Structure 1
Amino acid sequence: MANIGVFVGSVFGGAEEVAEEVVSELKANGHQAEMFVEPSLEDFLAYRDQVALVITSTTGQGEIPENLLPLFSALNDQFPLMPALNYGVIAMGDSSYGEDRYCGGGRRFDALLQELQAKSVTERLDIDACVHFDAVEAALPWLKNFMKKVK
């Protein structure tokens, strides 16, 4: 089974709630999983040969939440190539704010990880608050597919 670091960007707690359920589900399926709510670059790099799952909401003009922004900035500034990293992204947003802002935090993180040569395990999941009032409900089917691919 995989060792998975779950890195959370949350403004009002929604992404953190999804992450808690995801970590619980990962563990129930035999994976090792640890959640990071104030992740550092060192936390993230510890998984560079394993699996990282980024779960983030979007704030402002399609930006990354404040608690995840230092990690994003450090990865962007130091640009450590990570070809052995397998990753997934669950992006949360609200499509009523416009297509350019919708799930912007997750889209930006996904793009950066691709630039760092990490390998996406499966397509990013974009959860629209206008459609899914329970983000956990939307995330769990995607997670099942993700878990199959990281065994």
Structure 2
Amino acid sequence: MKRVNLVFGTVYGSAQFVAETLEQELGSLGYQARLWQPDELDGFVPPQDEYLILVCSTTGQGDLPDDILPWFHGLSSAAPYLPELKYSVIALGDSSYETFCGAGKQLDSLFAELGATRLSERLEIDACETMEPELAAKAWLLHWHRSVEAELAA
């Protein structure tokens, strides 16, 4: 059974709700999912033999939410080399801002810099168009699951 780590950054709870929804869906797809709370992330380096899904809302001028910021800075500073890690990003934002999904883009860039490989296209959920981001994330998860199956079959 493949393990999946879910990490979220949220301001008002939407990204957390999306991550919690994915945790349940992953279980029904046969994965062992672990949802990391922000206060558990200190020193957490994602294991390279497990998958990582990042779910993050954007605040301010394309900034990361305060709850995930220490982990982001810690990883940036430590700069662990993660060439075997497969990760994915779900970014929540508001397209009326110039910095749409800026936090998710920052996470995506960080993991690319750490040598990790993005498993699927970044999902950008626009609050102007999507009232229930968890539904968009559930649909995306089916594509993600097919990507995992294809990778395992290769």
Counterparts of 1:131 and 1:118 in 2: how far apart (Å)? 31
1:43-77 CA-to-partner distances (Å, cap 9, x unmatched) read 3x242331110000001110011111111101111
1:58-77 map, 5 Å: 58-77=58-77
2:84 aligned partner: 84
Equivalent residues of 2:80, 2:114 under 8 A apart = yes
Structure 1 residue 117: deviation in Å? 0.7
TM-score, scaled to structure 1: 0.93
Structure 1 residue 140: deviation in Å? 1.2
1:29-48 map, 5 Å: 29-38=29-38, 39-43=40-44, 45-48=45-48
2:53 aligned partner: 53
Identity %: 39
Q: Give 2:41's aligned amino acid.
A: S
Which stretches in structure 1 are left out of the alignment for 5+ residues? Answer: none
TM-score, scaled to structure 2: 0.92
Which stretches in structure 2 are left out of the alignment for 5+ residues? Answer: 150-154
1:1-151 map, 5 Å: 1-38=1-38, 39-43=40-44, 45-98=45-98, 101-151=99-149
Q: CA RMSD in A?
A: 1.2
Equivalent residues of 1:50, 1:84 under 8 A apart = no
Q: Which runs of 4+ in 1 moved over 4 A?
A: none
1:12-33 CA-to-partner distances (Å, cap 9, x unmatched) read 0000010110000000111000
1:72-97 CA-to-partner distances (Å, cap 9, x unmatched) read 10111111010010000000000111
Counterparts of 1:86 and 1:120 in 2: how far apart (Å)? 6
